[in-house]
Structure 1
Amino acid sequence: MRKITMALVLLAAISASAQVKKGKLVWEENFNGKKLNEKAWNFELGDGCPNVCGWGNNERQLYTKDNHKVENGFLTITAKKDGDKYTSTRITTAGKKEFKYGYIEARAKIPTGHGIWPAFWMLGSNIGQKGWPLAGEIDILEYIGREPDMAYTTLHFQDRHGDNAYGHKTPMPEIEEGFHNYAIQWTPEKIDFLVDEKVFFSYAPENKNEANWPYNQPFYIILNVAVGGNFGGPDVDDSIFPQEFVIDYVKVYSN
């Protein structure tokens, strides 16, 4: 494996008084109204076949347009067990709202239970040309029900991806309780990962190149709830369903 020279900062506890610089608000989605704004969001449907069956991770769910609602200023994605199938919703801003650098955050309440896998993440907008992982991936929040009280933050790029991805898991006993803010502060120099405006993990390679820093281009946002899969499963507790991923807002600020 190629060695990557990097400045790694792991801050397990930051003073609550630390200032977070968000810059100017450049885009926000507050989920007002009665339906999803399809001028900003796309639905991704089905099981990923034939190109990436199981969405590349042996996930069990089928994505539909029916497993979500927009109501009272919240987006709710509901994962269900429908007969012998699991259903959920996955939405993206690909081709509509893409961002290069900034403070990017969502306020959300996660679903829980063994086999559940909600995520707030981003993919490089050139994934259609470069493919994965060369286009890059930023997992701002992942939570897996089989490992409670833990927030996952992960980066995938050519030198580090899949099981060898570059990430960190942060003990967070209160993660299952109520709403929390999940964010990145992304600059040309580094990416900081934050929960409730506290930095827990940073990535800043000194010698940036295409293989370790695809983060110099626009990325788009994804919200979804997966079921099972290589990361979320393999076992799924059917008694937990339905489960809701409730998103209050997504906001993007300049640096």
Structure 2
Amino acid sequence: MIKKIILFALIAVNCCVAQKQKRKLVWQEDFKSATLDESVWNFELGNGCPNICGWGNNEREFYTKENHKIVNGNLVITAKKEGDKYTSTRITTKGKKQFQYGRIEARAKLPVGKGIWPAFWMLGSNIDKAGWPKSGEIDILEYIGKEPHTVYTTLHTQDNHGEHASSKKTNFPTIEEGFHVYAVDWAKEKMDFYVDDQLVFTFAPEPKTEDSWPFNQPFYIIVNMAVGGNFGGPEVDDSIFPQEFTVDYIRVYQ
């Protein structure tokens, strides 16, 4: 039985690698420059107020341009406790780099501790017109420090969002150790989510309507580390700070 499980796992990994090899690398961010390329990346600043205070989730962080750095080809986002507030960084490719279909992946090392909430995710390019969740949301990686050894992969649609989102959490006993690759393989008919080329979640609703499948349009990329909030908190252990969310690269294959 154990041999069969190992065999199936090897087949799944080989299939994933083969799929990636058939595709062309259409965009990559390897963080090789001394500073973040603002022709590609936007900084989202503050606490979301006045339009969406707490970034829609009662989060406690205040985003700045100062809570990140490029170190040896890695983007390092640092969450800090500064006086009576928490600071961090959130970046997006909105209006600059948008993608429809393909494999979108990041190699990253997670922060740890209760209250921390790093994420690698995407939003529909029509969000300003359609609003959320009508625009759709693709959460390729979410990790919350209060649930160690666990990775969340989630999709938000008009039909299923917030606490009722289409979501899967997967246990990885060593996920906090070193770097891991988080990916979504996005096709017209379904989405497959992977951690280190292990398939963890497939989403393929039928029938596909604008409320169940808003994923037939371009999406843009977001990288951030939140603190607290409805999902990551509400409790925050102040003794954990500072914490670093490190991203080695982001790649898109089509």
Q: 1:14 to 1:169 in 2, by over 3 A?
A: farther
- Could you tell me how far apart the structure 2 residues matched to 1:178 and 1:243 are? 14
Please report the TM-score for the alignment, with normalisation by the length of structure 1.
0.94
Q: 1:14 to 1:64 in 2, by over 3 A?
A: farther
Aligned to 2:47: 47
- Could you tell me how far apart the structure 1 residues matched to 2:110 and 2:124 are? 24
Pairwise CA distance, 1:87: 0.1
Pairwise CA distance, 1:71: 1.9
Q: 1:48 to 1:159 in 2, by over 3 A?
A: same
Pairwise CA distance, 1:206: 2.2
Pairwise CA distance, 1:14: 5.5
Q: Show CA shifts across 1:143-199 (max 9, x none).
A: 000000100000000000001111000011111110000000000010000000111
Aligned to 2:116: 116
Q: Show CA shifts across 1:25-79 (max 9, x none).
A: 0000000021001111000000000010000000000000000001210000000
- Could you tell me how far apart the structure 2 residues matched to 1:141 and 1:16 are? 23
Give the helix-richer structure, 1 or 2: 2
* Matching of residues 1-150 of structure 1 within 5 Å: 15-18=9-12, 19-20=15-16, 21-22=19-20, 23-150=23-150
- Could you tell me how far apart the structure 2 residues matched to 1:16 and 1:122 are? 29
- Could you tell me how far apart the structure 2 residues matched to 1:164 and 1:176 are? 27
Name the SS of the counterpart of 1:201 in structure 2. Answer: strand
Name the SS of the counterpart of 1:33 in structure 2. Answer: coil
Please report the TM-score for the alignment, with normalisation by the length of structure 2.
0.94
Aligned to 2:4: none
- Could you tell me how far apart the structure 2 residues matched to 1:27 and 1:40 are? 11
Which stretches in structure 1 are left out of the alignment for 5+ residues? 1-12
- Could you tell me how far apart the structure 2 residues matched to 1:211 and 1:33 are? 40
- Could you tell me how far apart the structure 2 residues matched to 1:16 and 1:53 are? 46
Give the paired residue count.
243
Name the SS of the counterpart of 1:16 in structure 2. Answer: helix
Which stretches in structure 2 are left out of the alignment for 5+ residues? 1-6
- Could you tell me how far apart the structure 1 residues matched to 2:37 and 2:70 are? 10
Q: Is the 8 A contact 1:46 1:64 kept in 2?
A: yes
